[in-house]
């Protein structure tokens, strides 16, 4: 199975650049990336993204924390484009499981990207609520789990096994920390991995030999030492 690469980004110029890359099959965003990119109005900025990426899936996240407003935002975001996946958290900031909104939106045939998932237990709870027709992405945060000393691999293995009977559900490796995560995602059988732009560029350079890497590394050291004008005096010690 091929693991699709999505680009995790919100800067418009970079979206234009990476949308032209064949390796990139879709895009994910979140409120933090939007803010970093300088977005002032969420709707108008999102529509600028969708204008660029009109033929690839784009995940746009709700930013409300309570059920009523979250559902209102989700319904609005869903109308912005046929390629939109409405991104909703598995739980809100109080730790309350968002099962009610997941079930309701799924029953309305709204494509979902359920985010901030960390465990197979959460995946199991989601699967009890969704149908076998409407597309759903479950985003498991590998890097953030690893940052706390927890191994995310067993959670991926169990989650991937659980969704095998669902042709409409995909597991996404989120929170990438290094290019090697892409190979890990492929080995596990993840359907998607979402990756920052700089890491995608590194993945495009996969295939170099260890000898090539040694030469490139030493050359980099040499260039930096020359720029620094380092010298060791010949005076006797």
**Number of other residues whose CB lies within 10 A of the CB of residue 204:** 12
Quick check: is 150 catalytic? no
d(CA 48, CA 51): 5
Q: Which of 25, 26, 23, 29 is nearest to 10 (CA)?
A: 29
d(CA 162, CA 143): 21
- Residue of 87, 128, 202, 231 marked catalytic: 87
Q: Where are the beta strands (DSSP E) in the chain?
A: 4-8, 24-28, 58-61, 84-89, 112-117, 136-141, 169-174, 192-195
Do 216 and 26 form a contact (C-beta atoms < 8 A)?
no
Catalytic residues: 87
């Amino acid at each position: 199975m091929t693991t699709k690469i999505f680009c995790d980004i919100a800067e418009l110029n970079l979206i234009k650049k990476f949308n032209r890359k064949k390796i990139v099959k879709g895009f994910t965003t979140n409120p933090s990336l939007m803010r970093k990119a300088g977005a002032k109005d969420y709707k108008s900025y999102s529509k600028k993204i969708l204008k660029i990426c009109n033929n690839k899936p784009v995940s746009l996240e709700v930013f409300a924390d309570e059920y009523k407003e979250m559902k209102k935002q989700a319904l609005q975001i869903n109308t912005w484009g046929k390629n939109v996946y409405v991104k909703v958290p598995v739980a809100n900031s109080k730790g309350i499981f968002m099962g009610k909104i997941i079930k309701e939106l799924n029953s309305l045939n709204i494509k979902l990207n359920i985010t901030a998932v960390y465990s197979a237990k959460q995946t199991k709870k989601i699967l009890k609520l969704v149908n076998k027709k409407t597309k759903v992405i479950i985003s498991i945060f590998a890097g953030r789990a690893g940052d706390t000393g927890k191994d995310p691999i067993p959670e991926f293995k169990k989650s991937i096994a659980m969704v095998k009977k669902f042709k409409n559900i995909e597991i996404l490796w989120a929170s990438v920390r290094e290019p090697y995560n892409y190979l890990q995602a492929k080995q596990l059988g993840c359907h998607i991995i979402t990756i920052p732009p700089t890491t995608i560029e590194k993945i495009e350079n996969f295939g170099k030999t260890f000898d090539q890497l040694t030469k490139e590394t030493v050359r980099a050291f040499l260039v930096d030492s020359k720029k620094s004008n380092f010298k060791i005096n010949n005076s006797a010690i």
